Amino acid sequence: MFVVTTVNRSLPMAREDDSWRWVVAIAAFLTQFIVCGITYSLGVFHVVFKDTFYESHFETSWVGSILLYVTALSSIMFRFVTSRFGSRVSVILGGLLASAGLGLCMLAQELFHLYLCFGLLTGLGFGLACSPSIVAVERYFVHGRSQALSVVVAGIGAGIITFPVLIRQLLLRFAWRGTMLILSGVTLNLCVCGMVMKPLRHEKMIPLRSMLSCVPLQHPLFDGMCLANLFWSFGSTVIYMYLPSYAMAQGSTFEAAVFLVSTVGMASFASRAIFAFMGPNSTLDEVTSTLCSLGLGVVITGISPLLFKNYMGQVAYTLLFGFYSGFWTTFLSQASRELLGPRYVAMGNGYLSLMVALGALCGGPLTGLLLHHENDFKVAFYLGGACLLWSSVVMILLKLQRCQPRLEDFHPDKVTEASIKAKNLSGKGDDYHVPLILGEMKNGGGGSGNSVLLSTVASGESVGGTSLTSRNGRTGGHNAGSTVINSNDIVVDNVITCV
């Protein structure tokens, strides 16, 4: 799941000794826990809704696909709510809408009622709540922001571990309508989480940058990243939606099939923790990228029918898929930031989120059509695995390309780097912000590290809507010439979170 927000011009920071920031981090953790836990239990709901309404896989799959699609898309479409009213209002409003959607599900008499309630209304609420909770954490943390975000993102894996089992127990005791009502009450806790995300003193909301710019699409490597993300979203949606159904078709009980979804969450949680501990650069070296992306993609695609013959093999499959998903999240987030740079990362992640939405919308129904004709889950999982494999191949090719975009490709006047430096030294030049691959841009190329060279940033200005704040809290001055700012110190309200 992608959580995409854009960037404010100037973001106020909380004091380092402000203990309330950890309360906000816990609230954001619980927000991710609830939203992603319910969302990625869609495979469990798929089994329940199909048996309840006696519809085909194609018609039933629209419920979960619409939920994923609307959640991803609304995080972009309604970003102005966070910009104008703040994270608190956005999360509370999202909690109310999602709770209303789940509560209305208990009144559904036809499948299309669930399209509107569970898919549309609940998806709108989840989209409004999930992304702004991460924005709130970024505003509260000056130092230790990456650690705080790691804690928040851990809520995704924790939710996937917990909610499938919880939903199964609720189904046993209260049937599916009662389960929806109880989940509606659980979702109301998003409003409590939103209440603690109080605005910082002197916080000033400024309209966000437009994300309709086509500049990122002029970058051929970014176009490839969008294509890879579309295939990844399609393939992962297929697996999440049909994993319990496939396991049950192979003889597993419903309880055992539900536990497989939790196993995916366990592996994803462990994978995120491993790569967070190793650091961001560990996701970008060729060995790690090839082994985790291409290697696991081949395994998931090729041996899924063999593993699904018995339950231990099914557990092994979910562990592999969960570990792959956790790595993909870290890899894509870092690659997007390094490829586009701070100026275009908000716009670029908007396009990546759109690809996630499209893949989620198409993955379930198209696979449902395939199952209608083939009546064999093995073929469906070959399709899902092939999409994951192809997304890995595309990203590995982009990694091996390692080409630095030429400056003149982004400036029609064909200016040279030397002329830019001359203008910067004179203090009379314009700002030039060129997307660069991090490993090749330090000090003009060849270096590796996390520093981004930004030239002549006017005091109080932002780059692509990103407030450039150094460790001592000061922004780069206009007469300071070139300023080297650590990427961890750049306040970017734009976080990709995908499961």
**Every domain of the chain and the residues it spans:** 20-204+212-401, 409-491
Range picked from 325-334, 353-362, 395-404 for highest mean pLDDT: 353-362
CATH of 20-204+212-401, one of 1.10.3720.10, 3.20.20.80, 1.20.1250.20, 1.20.1440.80: 1.20.1250.20
Q: What is the pLDDT of residues 86-125, one digit of tens each?
A: 889 999 999 999 999 999 999 999 999 999 999 999 999 9
Q: Which range is least confidently modeled, 129-133, 291-295, 481-485?
A: 481-485
Indicate whether 297 pLDDT > 60. Answer: yes
- The closest alpha carbon to 206, from 466, 416, 433, belongs to 466
The whole-angstrom separation of Cα 68 and Cα 124 is 10
Q: Is the pLDDT of residue 38 over 90?
A: yes
Average pLDDT (408-431) is 42
Q: Which residue has the tokens 């981090």?
A: 25
pLDDT-derived band at 423, boundaries 50, 70, 90: very low
What pLDDT score was predicted for residue 105? 94
Q: What is the pLDDT of residue 320?
A: 87
Higher pLDDT, 291 or 308: 308
Position 451 scores a pLDDT of: 33
- Measured CA to CA, the distance from residue 159 to residue 36 in angstroms comes to 6
> 466-468 and 482-486: which strand pairing?
unpaired
Please tell me the predicted confidence (pLDDT) of residue 415: 40
CA angle 236, 127, 44 (to 5 degrees): 45
Residues in Cβ contact with 278 at an 8 Å cutoff, skipping those fewer than 6 apart: none
Residue 140 binned pLDDT confidence (cut-offs 50, 70, 90)? confident
- Residue 447 has a pLDDT of 34
| Among 20-24, 176-180, 271-275, the range of highest mean pLDDT | 176-180
Q: How far apart are the first and last CA of the chain?
A: 5
pLDDT band at 203 (very low <50, low <70, confident <90, very high): low
Q: Determine the pLDDT at residue 402.
A: 53
Which tokens sit at 61?
Answer: 């799959």
Burial of 39 (0-12, 13-18, 19+ CB in 10 A): buried
CB atoms within 10 A of CB 159: 27
Of all residues in the chain, what percent are helix, strand and coil, respectively (each to 5)?
70, 5, 25
